A and B are shown apart, each in its own frame.
Chain A
Amino acid sequence: MNKILLSIIIYIASTNILAIDFNKLYKGWSNNQQVSYSASMGKELWSKEILPGKSCKSCHGSDLTQPGKHIRTNKIIKPLSLKSNPERLTKEKKINKWLKRNCKFTYKRECSPEEKISFIEFIRFN
């Protein structure tokens, strides 16, 4: 009986480790401050060219279920949508790395917590 209980606990714990706790991730980004964000805000920002000729759409396209193409090298980028690529948004380190790099590429600066959270919300639900 104890063994069964223990294995259930271990199972739940391990699945929780694997899945990203997005609320926690967002709180980390915003330093626990209240920020306003939404998937629709993310969608709007996605194709907005703050610098001419550069947006998230440039490399990832506007239909996230489809593969993208790197604007400078033509390299095919696997889809960002979880619907067609379940490996997306499963590693915090990877998300942070690419948001930092891609924001610098697209806007020549890092993204604000509002922007980051809105982007991830947009990707999660599209």
Chain B
Amino acid sequence: MTKKYISIGLFFVLIFAAIQSKSDYNLLNIFNKRGVQVIENTTYQEECGACHFDYQPGLLPERSWKKLMTNDELLNHFGEDVSFDDSSTANKIIKYLTLNAADKSSYNRSKKISRSLPSHQSPLRITNTPYIKRKHHGISKELITQQSVGSLSNCTACHNNAHKGDYDDDSVTIPNIKAGLISIELNTQKDGYVGIVKSTNESFKIISTKISSNLSVKKLCRVVSFKGNDEFSVRTYCKIKGGFWH
């Protein structure tokens, strides 16, 4: 009798262990694979990751990767010749990308990217997929083109855990976000102006304005105070002519 219970118990322990070892973090994630799958391919990391962030294969569907990796495309890869000298390296990468593409993935965000895309479209840019476009809609142009970001292709500039395949909102920090949110007021309003920071609901007041110049670079600076729920802070934002508030 006890033998029977032991074997039944053992059976469940084994099943549990098997499920655990297959899941990403814990049991809960079997049914809910968040984000996109992390990179597990050194050839891809070394070859493609030398020049840019190694975008996970689960960010584009198979048909896009196939197109991107054709000889014609590699000869003019967003303006550069990155063609491979040996085809075996290229083939390894193609295999890895296509096997783990968004439309082959069981990860949530990959599925969303894949589903957002009409089947006749094979965009070469991740930022041209409807899902990614929609997700970044409404981030002001100034925040995207500022020096430390540059363009939407620079995932890691704001997504702190991008290399872990985690693109959750919680792990996003957009540099200079506050300056971006009040840039119109900083550009147009006079000293003494009181306003509300959109989305954080803090109130702010433009206290004063001055010109700072060092080494022949002239900057316009504005001192701003912020009042949140139980926080008060003062910051100075400066910008060069035609530039961005920092």
Q: Tell me whether A97 is interfacial, beta carbon within 8 Å.
A: yes
A75 CA / B51 CA spacing, docked (Å): 6
A 72-96 binary contact with B (CB < 8 Å = 1; else 0): 1111010000000000000000000
Taking a contact as CB atoms closer than 8 A, the residue among A70, A100, A101, A105 that contacts B52 in the complex is A70
Nearest-Cβ distance from residue B173 to partner chain A, whole angstroms: 16
Q: Tell me whether B192 is interfacial, beta carbon within 8 Å.
A: no
A101 and B82 contact, CB distance less than 8 A = yes
A105 CA / B81 CA spacing, docked (Å): 8
Nearest-Cβ distance from residue A105 to partner chain B, whole angstroms: 6
Residues of A close to B201: CB separation below 8 A: none
**Can you name the residue of chain A whose Cβ is closest to the Cβ of B84?**
A97
A12 CA / B150 CA spacing, docked (Å): 50
Q: Tell me whether B157 is interfacial, beta carbon within 8 Å.
A: yes
Q: Tell me whether A124 is interfacial, beta carbon within 8 Å.
A: no
A97 and B81 contact, CB distance less than 8 A = no
Residues of A close to B150: CB separation below 8 A: 74
Q: Tell me whether B80 is interfacial, beta carbon within 8 Å.
A: yes
Q: Tell me whether B153 is interfacial, beta carbon within 8 Å.
A: yes
Taking a contact as CB atoms closer than 8 A, the residue among A74, A77, A97 that contacts B154 in the complex is A74
Residues of B close to A97: CB separation below 8 A: 85
Q: Tell me whether A104 is interfacial, beta carbon within 8 Å.
A: yes
**Can you name the residue of chain A whose Cβ is closest to the Cβ of B49?**
A75
Residues of A close to B85: CB separation below 8 A: 97, 100
A75 CA / B81 CA spacing, docked (Å): 18
Main secondary structure of the interface of A (DSSP, over half): mixed
We find that the number of chain B residues with CB closer than 8 angstroms to chain A is 14
Q: Tell me whether B53 is interfacial, beta carbon within 8 Å.
A: yes
Nearest-Cβ distance from residue A32 to partner chain B, whole angstroms: 23
Residues of A close to B81: CB separation below 8 A: 101, 104-105
Nearest-Cβ distance from residue A106 to partner chain B, whole angstroms: 11
**Can you name the residue of chain A whose Cβ is closest to the Cβ of B85?**
A97
A28 CA / B50 CA spacing, docked (Å): 26
Nearest-Cβ distance from residue B56 to partner chain A, whole angstroms: 16
B80 and A73 contact, CB distance less than 8 A = no
A71 CA / B194 CA spacing, docked (Å): 40
Enumerate A93-126 residues with CB–CB distance to B below 8 Å: 97, 100-101, 104-105
**Can you name the residue of chain A whose Cβ is closest to the Cβ of B54?**
A75
Taking a contact as CB atoms closer than 8 A, the residue among A75, A77, A100, A105 that contacts B80 in the complex is A105
A75 and B82 contact, CB distance less than 8 A = no
A70 CA / B49 CA spacing, docked (Å): 11
B153 and A73 contact, CB distance less than 8 A = yes
Residues of A close to B50: CB separation below 8 A: 75, 77
**Can you name the residue of chain A whose Cβ is closest to the Cβ of B157?**
A74
Residues of B close to A75: CB separation below 8 A: 49-53
A77 CA / B85 CA spacing, docked (Å): 22
B82 and A73 contact, CB distance less than 8 A = no
A73 CA / B157 CA spacing, docked (Å): 11
Q: List 14 A-B contacts (CB under 8 A).
A: A70-B51, A70-B52, A72-B51, A72-B52, A73-B51, A74-B148, A74-B150, A75-B49, A75-B50, A75-B51, A101-B81, A104-B81, A105-B80, A105-B81
Give chain B's interface residues, CB within 8 Å of chain A: 49-53, 80-82, 85, 148, 150, 153-154, 157
> 20 more A-B contacts (CB under 8 A) besides A73-B53, A74-B148, A104-B81?
A70-B51, A70-B52, A72-B51, A72-B52, A73-B51, A73-B52, A73-B153, A73-B154, A74-B150, A74-B154, A74-B157, A75-B49, A75-B50, A75-B51, A75-B52, A75-B53, A77-B50, A100-B85, A101-B81, A104-B80
